Amino acid sequence: MTKSSSDDKNDFNFSSTTPYNIGRSGGNEMVHHIDSELQGLKDLALQMGGSVEMALEKICTTILTGDLKACEDVLKHEQRINQLQIMIDEACVSVLAKQAPVAKDLRLVIAITKINTDLERMGDQSVNIAHSARDLFTEWPKVVLPPEITQMIDEVRVMVRSVLDAFARRDVQLSHQVLEQDDTVDALKDGLIDRMTEQMKQNPKQIETGLAFIMIAKNLERMADHATNIAEEVIYLATGNDIRHGHSASASS
């Protein structure tokens, strides 16, 4: 049985953390305590990432097979993602307020707050795709998928899985691979929009299906963008180098 959000909070017990008594506990215990809380934060973020990946798999199943039950299951995962977003926000605030992390520890907390937002938005994109797919296959159960959609699904699946692995291991090389894949997804989306637009001009009967495919492609592309954001945060977390917008400046650690 799925635990409630309050039960989940007790797993890591962030709210019950008490201030340190430096005279009694000493520096080593303080370091161990903050390490434990930071690991708890990371575990929560990975749980959230797992729910996002499961939601993505459900919508991919719907698109590739027309299985509307899998489409409905996305909403359950989205509820879990929303619960975890709140838990992670509260846990980050608690760590910042009570532990006052510095250097690499502070970078980790800040990175997790940003990753938390991207993961939640990926959950929203999954729901958007689920709604578009449900409408599409309810009205046109035998519709043929454009090849760009199936290719985008393959690319986005790999990007999401890779970026979660990169975050778990602080893998810079894998993060750069995710960044490179984003260009492929962008090109596929642009190609699909161009082709659907032309088809809709030539055959007005294809307007509704064409628009549905465009909406699915746009939301898949947005999921890839959020995966890219996470990859950039992993690179910053691992190296202190901010590569957003082509910026490159090493941070002291």
Distance CA 118, CA 103 (A): 23
- Tokens representing 165 are 């692995």
9 belongs to a structural domain:
no
20 belongs to a structural domain:
no
202 burial type by CB count under 10 A (0-12 exposed, 13-18 middle, 19+ buried): exposed
Task: List, as one string, the DSSP characters of 127-170.
Answer: HHHHHHHHHHHHH-TTPPPPHHHHHHHHHHHHHHHHHHHHHHHT
Report the 10 Å Cβ neighbour count for 12. Answer: 19
- Tell me which of 76 and 151 has the higher pLDDT: 151
Distance CA 145, CA 63 (A): 8
Number of domains in the chain: 1
- Range(s) of the domain holding residue 149: 26-246
Does the pLDDT at position 16 exceed 50? no
21 belongs to a structural domain:
no
192 belongs to a structural domain:
yes
Q: Lowest mean pLDDT: which of 15-19, 43-47, 178-182, 237-241?
A: 15-19
pLDDT digits (tens, 9 = 90+) for 140-182: 988 999 999 999 999 999 999 999 999 999 999 999 999 999 9
Please tell me which of 13-27, 33-47, 167-181 the model is most confident about, judged by mean pLDDT: 167-181
Residues linked to residue 250 through DSSP beta bridges, in sequence order: 241
Q: Among 249, 235, 15, 240, which residue's Cα sits nearest to residue 115?
A: 235
124 belongs to a structural domain:
yes
32 belongs to a structural domain:
yes
11 belongs to a structural domain:
no
User: Which residue, chain included where needed, has tokens 């490179």?
Assistant: 180
What is the enclosing helix (H) or strand (E) of 213? helix 207-239
Q: Residue 236: which CATH number?
A: 1.20.58.220
Does the predicted model carry a pTM greater than 0.85?
no
φ and ψ at residue 229, rounded to 5 degrees: -60, -45
5 belongs to a structural domain:
no
